[in-house]
A and B are shown apart, each in its own frame.
Chain A
Amino acid sequence: MSGPASLSDLAGRMAAVVGARNCFSAGPDLLTYECDGLTHGRTRPDLVVLPGSTAEVVEVVRLARASGRPIVPRGSGTGLSGGARPVPGCVVVALSRMRRILEVNLEDGWVRVEPGVLNLDVTKHVSAAGHYYAPDPSSQSICSIGGNVAENSGGAHCLKYGFTVNHVLGARLVLHDGKVVDIGGPALDAPGHDLLAALVGSEGMLGIVTEVTLRLLRKPEATRTFFATFPSTDEGGEAVSRIIAAGILPAAIEMMDRLAIEAAKAATGLDWPDVGAALLMDADGPAAEVEDLSARAVKIAREVGALELRLPRNEAERQLMWKGRKSAFAAVGRISPNYLVEDGTIPRSEIAPVLREIESMARDNGLRVANVFHAGDGNLHPLVLYDARNGGEEERAENLGGDILRMCVRRGGSITGEHGVGAEKAAYMADMYGESDLETMQWVRAAFDPEGAMNPGKVFPKLRLCGEKPGPGGLEHPAVKSGEVQRW
């Protein structure tokens, strides 16, 4: 295929593949794709293309590559690390038209879907039959399965059930050159390299996922939920550690601090009290076991000083409590003009001291931080509140966010629990990994995409992209050696 001469020529050819209405090249259309769920730092792409099938994705990738343009895949654009943020001169391939559920096999417990299918729609599709898809990011009503796979997304119930990686059985991938690869499949444990594990969490850098086979679970026989309030996050954190140390594995155990409670209330009208901290816990499984676990957890919560314990009276009340929790991020928009969502992990036992440290760091910077997070996993989500109209505040907020992440690493945790590295956290990767760790990852990436055409500029520290450092000692990729491609 010969390369399209100009951008308008490329747009014309893309439009011929996907239909004129699914190819955007005008400024006002492109501006709506300038960012994902992270709004500071916008880049306008050259083109946005919305293919409708794997065959169209293949054509689109070939055309984009023939024109020498990098490709940025995009799902629903809810990512919080700038993973789907365009890079200059790129073609954004948005999968939001590929939303078909292709095959359901309840007997063997799996479903095959297109990548644009929304997380919650998978569960909706199979719930009448008593099944569900377990990973439940708070954004589950809108985030796409393709995005979940790329970010290895987690959610409240991943404490017991595992992250996306534990629920993906197979995937179809379109590589940078238009080749279509099938990885894994419904059968458990396919022989050979576990490429699936490499693909999940690769943040769009290995290719475009165009089909995913997901594992389905049976709905648990019973679920018990309770909501407990505490004077401060100290007691809340203590309750979480003690519950889990007592051998209780809740399906989910989530914590909110005072500011997060305030935001969730504003968004949902819930009558939660104004307290220092609250926990929302689910126990699920066989009825007898659930009764026992939740009774023991309630007892521990009381022992560490819970102010109040509430049990939902019916499913609607339970859903509303979870809605409060799941709206909390976006609801923070009600109490602050701007905010940054950070995402770091720490050992569970460190929750209380780390939250105290975050509070004092915030105070030193004259900023507020709200916390709402997956406490059972020690996966913190500090939300740094600021007002971009106040000169220098955005920068201070970013610095504080960075300091918090570095503190997480110092405490034995990591710079991301589930939101990915994306464009935003590439700079912190060197705080986590040594040189050879990063190089090994780069080799894996280069095996799929030697030209670095797929979602470039994400995940790896910029340093590498400028070629300022030599590659892994002695090892040279054949394509690099022959001068065919440049090192990342």
Chain B
Amino acid sequence: MSGSGRHPALDCVHCGFCLPVCPTWTVWGREPDSPRGRIEIARAMLDGAAPTAEMVSHLDSCLGCMACLAACPSGVRYDAVIEEARSRVEASGVRTSADAGRRSAIFSLFPHPGRLRVAAVFLWLWRITGLRWLTRATGLTRLLPFIGRLDALAPDLGFGEVTSSLPAGARAAGTSRGRVALVGGCVQRVFFPGVNEATLRVLSAEGYDVVVPLGQGCCGALSVHAGRDDEARAMTRALVERLEASGADTFLVNAAGCGSHLKDLGHLFRNDPAWRDRAVEFSRKVKDVTEFLAAVAPRAERHPIPGKVAYHSPCHLGHAQGIQDPPRALLRAIPGLELVEVAEGDQCCGSAGIYNLVQVEASDELGARKAANVMATGAPYLASANPGCTLQVQRVLREKGAAVQAAHPIEILDASIQGKPFPGRRG
């Protein structure tokens, strides 16, 4: 919040420096679909204007990538502006019932790993039975846009992956350097369980005891970013309680979207005297796993992984958490690995939480741009620390008949420590 204690929308001085980094402004060039425009809309709501369908469409089209937050010289808390504006929208009842129904279908699925797993099993069956091709061929997926999107996004999974749950934890190899707790991440846990396993192996090899508290639900990030604050607070409280009970004093996250949310709980609980201080204290202990590892001296030997790897900087890591160097440094330390940057690397890939499920057109435009830039690097491998981004980029590449082999930086590090080749799926 601003030093003056006013509503953050009032801190905007209209310089426009946030526009060129905003993906929706870049693709459309329309002021209401820019951070500056959305702040104006929030300001109008603050002045008493009732949310209208137009306002909602511009707020909905925001990816929440926070590139604008990082670019703003005035320090405007865009994250606070958009979250508040969205909760006003949700409270106003302006959404049409069909729209609200579709959004709540997504929310009833996504932030609940259990339900997501059921959906994933369904998807898996749907695919292996060939039903998928049937529905694709008949255009049934078009009639069921949501299932269609999920189908296009989801990687091909084996049955074991679909039904796997969180790993139990790991002991430090050699003398222990400390004890950390790991947050599982719901989309990641279901679609990319390998990331959690790799994280455990790396932390253990580097000398840390890792606990993975049982019964972890979603951290609430997806709900916060969409303005569903009450739902978010309930989920967050439950997760915080589980993690605190682990007794660890470092909470590691390997999904950027979860990390950016968990590091900023003070804001979510700003009006809750019982939780405010506890939330701030908790957030202080949250670290991205790459941030944590880059700050300690490596212990395990790195084996070579020769080849060119394009680095994708997920918005929730690079912009929202300001983590640019740590993952790159970890990767560059792998012998033989040549890390290359993706042009327009600061731009969002269009995945952005649930965005690719509800804002199809913009998401596709951004995805195409990102995929073209990834292809232009000529790298056969992609390092991406966010499961949403990885799904998105691979989907678009697949549609273009191209492919890169993508993995989370921690999976790459794990492979290097184990002396294995570049991991991940070729999608």
User: When each residue 62-94 of chain B gets 1 if its CB lies under 8 Å from chain A and 0 otherwise, what string results?
Assistant: 000000000011111000000000000000000
B55 with A28: CB separation less than 8 A: yes
B29 with A116: CB separation less than 8 A: yes
- The answer to whether B16 has its CB under 8 Å from any CB of chain A is yes
Interface size on B, residues (CB 8 A): 35
Per the bound structure, the CA–CA distance linking A391 and B2 in Å amounts to 21
Given A77-B31, A332-B13, 10 other A-B contacts at CB below 8 A? A24-B32, A26-B52, A26-B54, A76-B16, A97-B28, A268-B73, A330-B13, A330-B74, A333-B76, A337-B2
Interface size on A, as a range, is: 35 or more
Tell me the residues in window 322-365 of chain A with beta carbons closer than 8 Å to chain B beta carbons. Answer: 327-334, 337, 339
Instruction: List the B side residues contacting A118 at CB < 8 Å.
Output: 20
- The answer to whether A306 has its CB under 8 Å from any CB of chain B is no
- The answer to whether A37 has its CB under 8 Å from any CB of chain B is yes
Q: A31-B41, A327-B73 are in contact. Are A139 and B31 (CB under 8 A)?
A: no
B15 with A37: CB separation less than 8 A: yes
Per the bound structure, the CA–CA distance linking A72 and B261 in Å amounts to 42
Selected interface stretch from B3-11, B124-132, B332-340, B390-398: B3-11
B54 with A28: CB separation less than 8 A: yes
- Can you list 14 contacts pairing A with B, beta carbon distance less than 8 Å? A32-B31, A48-B31, A78-B15, A96-B30, A118-B20, A120-B20, A142-B15, A142-B17, A266-B75, A327-B73, A330-B74, A332-B13, A333-B76, A334-B74
Per the bound structure, the CA–CA distance linking A142 and B25 in Å amounts to 11
B15 with A33: CB separation less than 8 A: no
**Identity of the chain A residue whose Cβ is nearest the Cβ of B15 in the assembled complex:** A330
A141 with B17: CB separation less than 8 A: yes
A36 with B29: CB separation less than 8 A: no
B74 with A337: CB separation less than 8 A: no
Q: A28-B52, A31-B41 are in contact. Are A333 and B20 (CB under 8 A)?
A: no
Q: How many A-B residue pairs have CB under 8 A?
A: 111
- The answer to whether B177 has its CB under 8 Å from any CB of chain A is no
A142 with B19: CB separation less than 8 A: yes
Name which of A29, A118, A331 has the most chain B CB atoms within 10 A of its CB. Answer: A29
- The answer to whether A99 has its CB under 8 Å from any CB of chain B is yes
Partner-B contacts on A (CB < 8 A) = 21-22, 24, 26-29, 31-39, 48, 50, 76-78, 94, 96-97, 99, 116, 118, 120, 139, 141-143, 266-268, 327-334, 337, 339
- The answer to whether B14 has its CB under 8 Å from any CB of chain A is yes
A333 with B40: CB separation less than 8 A: no
B3 with A97: CB separation less than 8 A: no
Per the bound structure, the CA–CA distance linking A143 and B29 in Å amounts to 13
**Identity of the chain A residue whose Cβ is nearest the Cβ of B51 in the assembled complex:** A28
Instruction: List the B side residues contacting A333 at CB < 8 Å.
Output: 11-13, 15, 73-76
Residue of B16, B28, B44, B58 near A139 (CB, 8 A) is B16
Q: A26-B54, A29-B54 are in contact. Are A96 and B29 (CB under 8 A)?
A: yes
In the complex, how many angstroms separate the beta carbon of A114 from the nearest chain B beta carbon? 11
A99 with B14: CB separation less than 8 A: no
**Identity of the chain B residue whose Cβ is nearest the Cβ of A328 in the assembled complex:** B73
Residue of B13, B40, B75 near A32 (CB, 8 A) is B40
Per the bound structure, the CA–CA distance linking A266 and B37 in Å amounts to 24
**Identity of the chain B residue whose Cβ is nearest the Cβ of A116 in the assembled complex:** B29
A97 with B74: CB separation less than 8 A: no
Instruction: List the A side residues contacting B29 at CB < 8 Å.
Output: 50, 94, 96-97, 99, 116
Instruction: List the A side residues contacting B20 at CB < 8 Å.
Output: 118, 120, 141-142
**Identity of the chain A residue whose Cβ is nearest the Cβ of B19 in the assembled complex:** A142
Name which of A139, A328, A337 has the most chain B CB atoms within 10 A of its CB. Answer: A337
Residue of A76, A267, A328, A331 near B19 (CB, 8 A) is A76
Per the bound structure, the CA–CA distance linking A117 and B31 in Å amounts to 15
Per the bound structure, the CA–CA distance linking A27 and B6 in Å amounts to 25
Per the bound structure, the CA–CA distance linking A79 and B40 in Å amounts to 17
A330 with B32: CB separation less than 8 A: no
**Identity of the chain A residue whose Cβ is nearest the Cβ of B343 in the assembled complex:** A124
User: When each residue 24-58 of chain B gets 1 if its CB lies under 8 Å from chain A and 0 otherwise, what string results?
Assistant: 00001111101011001100100001001011001
Per the bound structure, the CA–CA distance linking A142 and B44 in Å amounts to 24
Per the bound structure, the CA–CA distance linking A108 and B354 in Å amounts to 49
Instruction: List the B side residues contacting A97 at CB < 8 Å.
Output: 28-30
B73 with A267: CB separation less than 8 A: yes
**Identity of the chain A residue whose Cβ is nearest the Cβ of B55 in the assembled complex:** A28
Per the bound structure, the CA–CA distance linking A26 and B41 in Å amounts to 12
A29 with B17: CB separation less than 8 A: no
Instruction: List the B side residues contacting A24 at CB < 8 Å.
Output: 30, 32
**Identity of the chain B residue whose Cβ is nearest the Cβ of A334 in the assembled complex:** B75
Instruction: List the B side residues contacting A339 at CB < 8 Å.
Output: 13
A337 with B40: CB separation less than 8 A: no
Per the bound structure, the CA–CA distance linking A266 and B3 in Å amounts to 12
Name which of A21, A50, A329, A333 has the most chain B CB atoms within 10 A of its CB. Answer: A333
A139 with B15: CB separation less than 8 A: yes
Q: A28-B55, A33-B31, A334-B3 are in contact. Are A267 and B74 (CB under 8 A)?
A: yes
In the complex, how many angstroms separate the beta carbon of B16 from the nearest chain A beta carbon? 5
In the complex, how many angstroms separate the beta carbon of B85 from the nearest chain A beta carbon? 12
Per the bound structure, the CA–CA distance linking A96 and B16 in Å amounts to 13
Tell me the residues in window 152-203 of chain B with beta carbons closer than 8 Å to chain A beta carbons. Answer: none
Per the bound structure, the CA–CA distance linking A326 and B28 in Å amounts to 26
In the complex, how many angstroms separate the beta carbon of A274 from the nearest chain B beta carbon? 17
B54 with A35: CB separation less than 8 A: no
Name which of A26, A32, A39, A120 has the most chain B CB atoms within 10 A of its CB. Answer: A32
**Identity of the chain B residue whose Cβ is nearest the Cβ of A333 in the assembled complex:** B74
In the complex, how many angstroms separate the beta carbon of B223 from the nearest chain A beta carbon? 25
Instruction: List the B side residues contacting A329 at CB < 8 Å.
Output: 15, 73
